[in-house]
Structure 1
Amino acid sequence: MKAYSLLYLLLFSFAALSACKPSAAAQAKKIKEMEKKELKMLKEAKPEISESEGDTIEDYYGTSREGLINWVLTDTATLSYPFTRSIEKNYVTIATSDDNLLRIYSWNTGLGGTMIRWDNLIQYRSGTEIKAVHQSLDMLLHPDGEHDEIDFGSYIDTIYTYPCTDGSKLYMVDDYFRISSNYSANSLVAMRIKDGNLVSAPCFVRHGKRSDTIGFEHSIADWYFLANLGEGWNWLFQYDEKTQNLYVATTDSINSLIDRYDIYHFNGTDFVYQKTDAPFWLHPQLHNYERLALFFRTKDYMIRIDNLGGETMRYASWKKGKQMSDKPDLVLTGKFIEKDGSFIFSEGSYRYLVVPDTYKYMLKVQHNGKTILQQPQEAEE
């Protein structure tokens, strides 16, 4: 599952593109050569960069990223430059479309406090011309729209590419903006390259109305630390290639994610709303529920608890190695005990308890009152 932690910048070895895999030493040498090449380009873009022996690419990306900005704006070859290897440092996230015609750079400027102020750098190809602009994606697509006094950008780590029946391409970016420390907005923003420009594509159709953006605002902690216990963020937007249906997460009245989805069908031109339902990656037997209450894994099991309404809960479990799309091995109904935050389910002389255990959960199985199995939550491998 894809987590929404930041992805970062380093260079990918051209040697990896070779059909013949080089040795580790050869790969390291190639990477060093590419680093030197990039440093040279950055120094030419920003002459005041020093040439001390300890210089590395990370020394040149300060809050402003001036070297990178100058380089991208002045050198069209950067659209094809292989910025694909990531490291765990706060540099620049680069998203590139599958056809390599669109690329968006985003980074945290260090401004804005808990409302992060992102910066964007956008490149795209139209025919033989390559254009680059240092501007937020929202400002570029909606130049006449309403904007904050300061042009806040957004964090973009993925660009989806959809071929249309008329031969054109529809691009959709996974756009994230953190409104405060525990509140964020996640959106899909659609666009096209048309007549030499990157333009808004109002392809989302619902109840007769069109928009180039769909998404939601939500509490971060409610989803990440409670419902799915850190399992990730890629449940928020999913595309089922088999049915050509796009699943967009929905929230409740207090903007908490519930693991139910607005479903849009791609007809080759537009994404048209169909209904709101459970996700396609969940077995049909489990589609009837109001919201996801808890999801976690133990050493031997994957466990999902859904709220069916009120205090009624449903327990479903799968043996390790299975997926939620598989028929569950066990399904029980039970209740939530608000006093201690536990869940209780019974089947004959067996009792299944899911109890809090120091910021995690513990599965306990009892037979005639005796505990016969006890497994704590474990992180996904």
Structure 2
Amino acid sequence: MREDTTVSALDSLYLANSIFEGKLLQAAAKYPFTVSNFFKSFDDEPLGITTSADGVLIIYWWDTLTGGTQHAYSCVAQYKTAHGIKSVSPASPNKYSCSYSKIYSLKSKDKIYYLAVYDEILSYHDRCQGIQIFLIDKDDLMPAKLIKTQTGLHSKIDYLYNDNSMRDQNWENELTYHEKTQTLTIPVALENGNLTDNYITYKFNGEYFIKLKSK
């Protein structure tokens, strides 16, 4: 029996994504100037670049085109430490991969936490949006469990929704962190995924984000 030596387009995509991720990790760590002035050629490419206001944390993400109706993303995080610039491929908050749209910051005592808003495309209309809290501890970028719920302490919180429910509505409702008041508002979705104009509020009390009320 002859060995199958054919190469599929999907195999080529996986290989191309793996090579690109490796080169991006290497460049992000090797060349410190890229943390403030990354490759301008990416401006015209489908590469998402999300940066914290202080420029300490940058997350690069792209759609690998290896998924179907459920999109598959790859991410590379670049961040500053006392010992220089580091890079890592952060684990996804959930079992599905995600993109990142915003990075907020929270200063508490002698630490700065980074709250990254992530989005997952699970099917044609099923979506997930959440926020992942990171902390740069020495040379490591790690999840920080600051969100206190009935099930314990967590480094992330999210909600599932159907994007069809966003149509023909006169309101806008999405996950938002308010840096001045240190409050996190999370939309309420029904069991069928339809979003409502209600939300849940978590407020930082100096140690944890604590649920305040529903509105």
The TM-score range, normalised by the shorter chain, is: 0.7 to 0.9
Partner SS, residue 77 of structure 1: helix
SS at match of 1:153: coil
Q: Does 1:227 align with 2:169?
A: yes
Corresponding position of 1:351? none
In the alignment, the residues of structure 1 paired with residue 180 and residue 80 of structure 2 have an alpha-carbon distance, to the nearest angstrom, of: 30
1:66 and 2:20 matched = yes
Q: Residue in 2 aligned with 1:239?
A: 177
From 175, 188, 205, the counterpart of 1:267 = 205
**Corresponding pairs, count:** 197
How far residue 195 of structure 1 moved from its aligned partner, in angstroms, is 3.0
In 2, the alpha carbon distance for the partners of 1:90 and 1:261 equals 35
- Using the aligned pairs only, state the percent identity: 22
Distance in 2 between the 1:77 and 1:238 partners?
Answer: 31
Task: Mark the runs of 5 or more structure 1 residues left unpaired by the alignment.
Answer: 1-62, 278-381
Aligned to 2:194: 256
Name the Cα RMSD after superposition. Answer: 2.7
- Matching of residues 7-18 of structure 1 within 5 Å: none
CA pair 181-222 structure 1, distance change in 2 beyond 3 A: same
Q: Which deviations, in whole Å up to 9, do the C-alpha atoms of 1:267-326 show, x marking residues without a partner?
A: 23321111111xxxxxxxxxxxxxxxxxxxxxxxxxxxxxxxxxxxxxxxxxxxxxxxxx
1:176 to 109, 119, 123: 119
Q: CA deviation at 1:82?
A: 5.2
User: Relative CO higher for 1 or 2, CA cutoff 8 Å, sep ≥ 6?
Assistant: 2
- Deviation track 1:72-102 (CA, whole Å, cap 9, x = no partner) reads 2432321121579996x65111111122111
Shift of residue 226, structure 1, vs aligned partner = 3.0
> Which segments of 5 or more consecutive residues in structure 2 lack a partner in the other structure?
1-15
2:33 corresponds, among 73, 77, 81, to 77
Alpha-carbon distance in 1 for matches of 2:135, 2:46: 28
Q: What are the Cα deviations for residues 200-248 of structure 1, in whole angstroms up to 9, with x where unaligned?
A: 111011237211111111101111x2324xx76xx31223455432211
CA drift at 1:71:
2.8
Task: Name the SS for the 1:227 alignment partner.
Answer: coil
Distance 1:86 1:226, change over 3 A: farther
Deviation of the 1:136 alpha carbon = 4.2
Deviation digits for residues 125-178 of structure 1 (CA, Å, limit 9, x no counterpart):
121221112x2432xx7xxxx85xxxx5311021111111x1210111010110
The correspondence of residues 119-158 of structure 1 with structure 2, limited to 5 A, is: 119-133=74-88, 135-138=89-92, 147=95, 153-158=97-102
| 8 Å CA contact 1:105, 1:121 repeated in 2 | yes
Task: Name the counterpart of 2:144.
Answer: 201
Change (3 A) 1:242 1:81: closer
Give 1:137's aligned amino acid: A
Name the SS for the 1:226 alignment partner.
coil
- The residue type paired with residue 170 of structure 1 is Y
- Give the 3 Å change call, closer, same or farther, for CA 242–78 of structure 1 in structure 2: closer
Counterpart-to-counterpart distance in 2, 1:83 and 1:96 = 14
Query: Aligned partners of 1:259, 1:249: CA distance in 2, in Å?
Result: 7
- Whether contact under 8 Å (2:48, 2:60) holds in the other structure is yes
Q: Which amino acid aligns with 2:79?
A: Y
Q: Distance in 2 between matches of 1:162 and 1:186?
A: 20
> Aligned runs of 1:178-193 on 2, under 5 Å?
178-193=121-136
Between structure 1 and structure 2, the one with the greater Rg is 1
Using a 3 Å threshold, how does the CA distance of structure 1 residues 115 and 257 change in structure 2: closer, same or farther? same
- Out of 125, 136, 161, the position equivalent to 2:105 is 161
Cα distance change, pair 85–266 in 1 and its aligned pair in 2 (3 A): farther
What's 1:6 paired with?
none
Conserved 8 A contact 1:136-1:153:
no
